[in-house]
Structure 1
């Protein structure tokens, strides 16, 4: 693309970003406003205009996925030589290069998990720990290091920010733990991920020759998600820059959701003051979401301004009108999960791809109910934040097969067809397996590789199997996984940076949103920003829901989130049913079936050692009673009945239904003769 073509593809504000090629630039970019488009076009325009050389540009972001997406976009814009990496990936690359010069030999091994060493350090200083305590202490050690807090200053630092010390420990005990943890690492000749940034920054600060080498290589910097930088990351960025100001930062204070881990929007909000003459550009045209979604997002985040915080960016929707935001209240968590699975099923039946649907929640512990409900409904899903895609054994085995197949692939055969032929040996088939579980998960992963081959061929028709393998190797190094076809289940934190056609925000009750752990105004404000992030993940369909009680039949002691009470429709204006329909309440025959199914469910649960709703959800039970199916085919059509339920207890359910119907018919006939 020519320089003019690059600019022609942008709106006025994005064009202002792209043409601001020199000096400090601050881009305040709201959700869905095309910030990645703006900064990648800026880099590409700078190269096309002869202002930048590709190898002199370093673009830094926070996730491997975002870095991979940025590289893909830059290649498409003719700027493939630009380095786009996470802070850790860029730092690790440089540390590996400089370590032999400064220390000698290879760098120390990096800890994948620090739990074992934290536990050992805790024992040395007399802190009693279990698995949960070790995790909390590890997080605290990470917070201290990325906040540039040393052991001697820890007690003063936590007091200054009113930070709660994990496990009720004394701050001095945590300070001793910090010292012991460093000693354990030294004894074992290992470093952790935070050390990568700290050691490199220290090298560059102490060795002018090394700093000059880096600064000679990288002359222009772009930092995405700048509201999430930690003091340690900013310190490293300062070493990269030296006294230069060739820096473009992009962020949104309203999307700061990692303060607990050391992130701070301070560097973004004070950028103009810290960099004299900085150009500030605001991106507020929202191209992602409908006016209905954008309107709700603006109303939710505007409360931060009313509470005395900084004025948030007010988004302006650019898409046509879409469906109204839906609000739903359910009796209990199982009802909510079953209803959301059913709603996802209806969207899929209407043409929405499963991978374009997400169910988001505040804590990972909430995922189990949704996994069960989706499985019962026969709907595929993926839990974001689980095992990494390229770490899966079936994916690794497939990559081995593809490497071998690349050497013998028929050059006259289209690359995607060759990939399909090779993956047949890994048990990929053109159609998915009928059952759920491990077999379907393996097929989903392999089919994601097939889809990626199709995408690569569409963009590069001459691509070979070897090219495809090279793409997979690069993605594996960056943990840039392809899309797996299934409904996404994710925490609100894990959803940051992603988007879907349809989003269900579940569990919107007080104690979950905001979490009961948010015990300060600052923490509550961050929870509000987290809700804002969740809302802005939706392109078109958005539903917010909550349940009055946790368990079926439990006390309805929950209340709606304080963030949503002013926005929740009145009972007469609710746009989604406020509780699952009790379809059988007025039909005595159906009520008889429901009563029999309840007894059967209790007995099944007793025999298998699970709670009754794991056997059959209440919503599915009442739908069966209302329909009165006589065959497995009819049962499969009932809402909430999935393949797993059909195979495991389908015949048993049909027998209960038949017995109940026969019993009711007998009583009815007997009653008629008496009359």
Structure 2
């Protein structure tokens, strides 16, 4: 067990305050890069060291197996092995296996490993599409409903109230949801959300079981508390009961999973629920340079409304670094090629490729960057694919290494022995040219590099010690770094960091995303950009392109970028602005202004309409009615809700501004290249007929 001075060594004053806070409610508001994992693991170890609680009486939960594994590793190093650090679902699964037989007098139902098949069956019985993407969308709506504690009967009204863009009519989703639940129950199967629903119900309904559970677990810690959804909050309440020995850690500025039911309200309202709570704010950023930190503060500081729990202002603790760079390009290909060139320059200056990332809003954006990197012969990996230790070549390599242990293979030179053994599964001296063979080689060579790292830390490590390390990493979801640039969505980048980050494709309709039609939705998109910025330690590049590859220049830089570009920077004014252009298009490329009074527009609705809410409307009522009738017909033809075609706000903006051509039409917020291609001709023809 680490002694108390060691546990407090190296902590800043705020971290120390959180660590030594007495048992009871503690809320740690931890900004990006402020050392939250270090703080909470030291707090847990401190409670154990002081004898206030034993390791097995602590339940620490987070949202990913990787984060839980990292927490367990740190706690072992601090002498607090035995603390249950798990994901919500893993903890509930373990508890349910124990209590289910007592409640139901039968073995626990099996956890389904093929939810997709059941959703497909439910859709098929209703005559709905069973295409892979359609079934996946349907499954996502079911998951949102269950995590939000919404039944099939409640779904249509709840979806409308939440403003969800449903893939099909809400009533059909509700029927598919009900059918899925019936199929699952008939087969005596559980899905992951059922784990939480059942354990919450058991603890709520059976006082004897609740007492037994609470006698075991006396102290609770929740990481990433801003990502809690209603179902997880219900489970947490059932765990804690009427006690208050609860430590929560989170940052409302990094709430980016509202689409999945997450809400920061539990974090923000924690001091109200527990008036005696110790509240600590961690604002010293140890990850990023002051230049990156300053930009991050500007991004999040522009938010329209920031509750008290979100008003963290990061203070950079690292030495100065380069200023964040901005760039505008004619099209996506130019943007991707330029990023590839900059990455090559960083690599020449000594930045490892594994410490460079290209981040984007949607996964579909990755292809152009994959091609640019391939053309530049820069290796890369797309995050979100198959996990490292789940890959076929790694499973095969692990089997080979274990067999070598059984043969008592000597390992005087551990890395050399590992390399020699992996030749049996395809490792060559030189990497293949590319494709899947290169990816396989990169994975295998990463195992060799891990052996080299282990020997550097533990000089007498042998093959058995090495395989044990691999097993521990596999359990903790800690794959070794494959040398290559990371391509990832902003959501997938949460919790990660790199020396250099390229935030690409920052255009209206992508960030914020096209369907972000409310102020709340737009602010979540702003938080996504904030998360992206705070992933960078030193080098940060932000860019956007005015067109797709070879397309017309209909795009506009993201509204979030307007006030970030320094005066005098080449990207301060769009290159398109240097050429003559229609007034509506030119107005769209600079900071949005009211077309009536010329005031700067801030709210989502005002930007959509192109005017302040209190400025007079000149809507053409006849045109608006005909636009709504056209939209209803198109929605019926496409079998989608009407707002998927255009929202009411967009139709109102069209009826007010009466655009005469595509350049003017695309100047209306919410209408991008895809909408132009699908509906632009119809809308302009309708406007001409009414005029």
Same fold, judged at TM 0.5 (above): yes
Aligned equivalent of 2:463: 465
CA distance in structure 2 between the aligned counterparts of 1:12 and 1:46, rounded to whole angstroms: 18
- Please report how far the alpha carbon of residue 481 of structure 1 lies from its aligned counterpart in structure 2 after TM superposition: 2.3
Aligned equivalent of 1:366: 365
DSSP 3-state at the match of 1:158: helix
Higher mean displacement: 205-214 or 221-230: 205-214
Aligned equivalent of 2:13: 12
- Please report how far the alpha carbon of residue 21 of structure 1 lies from its aligned counterpart in structure 2 after TM superposition: 3.9
Aligned equivalent of 1:163: 164
DSSP 3-state at the match of 2:330: strand
**Equivalences for residues 568-583 of structure 1 within 5 A:** 568-570=565-567, 572-574=569-571
CA distance in structure 2 between the aligned counterparts of 1:167 and 1:79, rounded to whole angstroms: 47
Aligned equivalent of 2:217: 218
**Equivalences for residues 190-589 of structure 1 within 5 A:** 190-305=189-304, 311-410=310-409, 413=412, 415-429=414-428, 431-461=429-459, 463-552=461-550, 554-570=551-567, 572-574=569-571
- 1:34 equivalent to 2:32? Answer no
CA distance in structure 2 between the aligned counterparts of 1:193 and 1:354, rounded to whole angstroms: 36
Higher mean displacement: 90-99 or 470-479: 470-479
Higher mean displacement: 314-323 or 450-459: 450-459
TM-score of the aligned structures, taking structure 1 as reference length? 0.81
- Please report how far the alpha carbon of residue 511 of structure 1 lies from its aligned counterpart in structure 2 after TM superposition: 0.9
DSSP 3-state at the match of 2:560: coil
- Please report how far the alpha carbon of residue 565 of structure 1 lies from its aligned counterpart in structure 2 after TM superposition: 1.1
CA distance in structure 1 between the aligned counterparts of 2:317 and 2:490, rounded to whole angstroms: 25
Deviations along 1:531-583, one digit per CA (max 9) or x if unpaired, are 0000000000000001111013x21111100011122245655599989xxxx
CA distance in structure 1 between the aligned counterparts of 2:225 and 2:122, rounded to whole angstroms: 33
Query: Is the CA contact 1:304–1:525 (under 8 Å) kept in the aligned structure 2?
Result: yes
How much is the aligned-residue C-alpha RMSD, in angstroms? 2.3
DSSP 3-state at the match of 2:167: helix
TM-score of the aligned structures, taking structure 2 as reference length? 0.79
Query: Is the CA contact 1:305–1:312 (under 8 Å) kept in the aligned structure 2?
Result: no
DSSP 3-state at the match of 1:148: coil
Aligned equivalent of 2:46: 45
- Please report how far the alpha carbon of residue 453 of structure 1 lies from its aligned counterpart in structure 2 after TM superposition: 3.2
CA distance in structure 1 between the aligned counterparts of 2:427 and 2:258, rounded to whole angstroms: 43
Aligned equivalent of 1:97: 98
**Equivalences for residues 117-128 of structure 1 within 5 A:** 117-128=118-129
Deviations along 1:263-318, one digit per CA (max 9) or x if unpaired, are 11111000111123110000000000011111111001011255889652110000
Higher mean displacement: 134-143 or 116-125: 116-125
CA distance in structure 1 between the aligned counterparts of 2:402 and 2:258, rounded to whole angstroms: 43
Query: Is the CA contact 1:21–1:42 (under 8 Å) kept in the aligned structure 2?
Result: no
- 1:81 equivalent to 2:82? Answer yes
Query: Is the CA contact 1:382–1:489 (under 8 Å) kept in the aligned structure 2?
Result: yes
- Please report how far the alpha carbon of residue 115 of structure 1 lies from its aligned counterpart in structure 2 after TM superposition: 2.5
CA distance in structure 2 between the aligned counterparts of 1:476 and 1:168, rounded to whole angstroms: 39
CA distance in structure 2 between the aligned counterparts of 1:69 and 1:303, rounded to whole angstroms: 33
- Please report how far the alpha carbon of residue 239 of structure 1 lies from its aligned counterpart in structure 2 after TM superposition: 1.6
Query: Is the CA contact 1:326–1:575 (under 8 Å) kept in the aligned structure 2?
Result: no
Higher mean displacement: 377-386 or 446-455: 446-455
Deviations along 1:604-646, one digit per CA (max 9) or x if unpaired, are xxxxxxxxxxxxxxxxxxxxxxxxxxxxxxxxxxxxxxxxxxx
CA distance in structure 1 between the aligned counterparts of 2:414 and 2:219, rounded to whole angstroms: 37
CA distance in structure 1 between the aligned counterparts of 2:569 and 2:459, rounded to whole angstroms: 56
CA distance in structure 2 between the aligned counterparts of 1:476 and 1:109, rounded to whole angstroms: 24
- Please report how far the alpha carbon of residue 217 of structure 1 lies from its aligned counterpart in structure 2 after TM superposition: 2.2
Structure 2 vs 1, CA of residues 117 and 157 (structure 1 numbering), >3 Å: closer, same or farther? same
Query: Is the CA contact 2:30–2:249 (under 8 Å) kept in the aligned structure 1?
Result: yes
CA distance in structure 1 between the aligned counterparts of 2:575 and 2:114, rounded to whole angstroms: 44
Gaps of 5+ in 1: 580-675
DSSP 3-state at the match of 2:511: coil
DSSP 3-state at the match of 2:199: helix
DSSP 3-state at the match of 1:522: helix
CA distance in structure 1 between the aligned counterparts of 2:574 and 2:409, rounded to whole angstroms: 56
Higher mean displacement: 155-164 or 116-125: 155-164
Structure 2 vs 1, CA of residues 222 and 414 (structure 1 numbering), >3 Å: closer, same or farther? farther
Higher mean displacement: 176-185 or 287-296: 176-185
CA distance in structure 1 between the aligned counterparts of 2:394 and 2:473, rounded to whole angstroms: 12
Gaps of 5+ in 2: 577-691
Aligned equivalent of 2:149: 148
Q: Which runs of 4+ in 1 moved over 6 A?
A: 307-310, 575-579
CA distance in structure 2 between the aligned counterparts of 1:293 and 1:357, rounded to whole angstroms: 15
Structure 2 vs 1, CA of residues 352 and 5 (structure 1 numbering), >3 Å: closer, same or farther? same
CA distance in structure 1 between the aligned counterparts of 2:144 and 2:270, rounded to whole angstroms: 23
- 1:54 equivalent to 2:55? Answer yes
CA distance in structure 1 between the aligned counterparts of 2:261 and 2:30, rounded to whole angstroms: 22
- Please report how far the alpha carbon of residue 382 of structure 1 lies from its aligned counterpart in structure 2 after TM superposition: 0.8
Higher mean displacement: 176-185 or 96-105: 96-105
Deviations along 1:477-525, one digit per CA (max 9) or x if unpaired, are 4433222221100000000000000000000011111111212111111
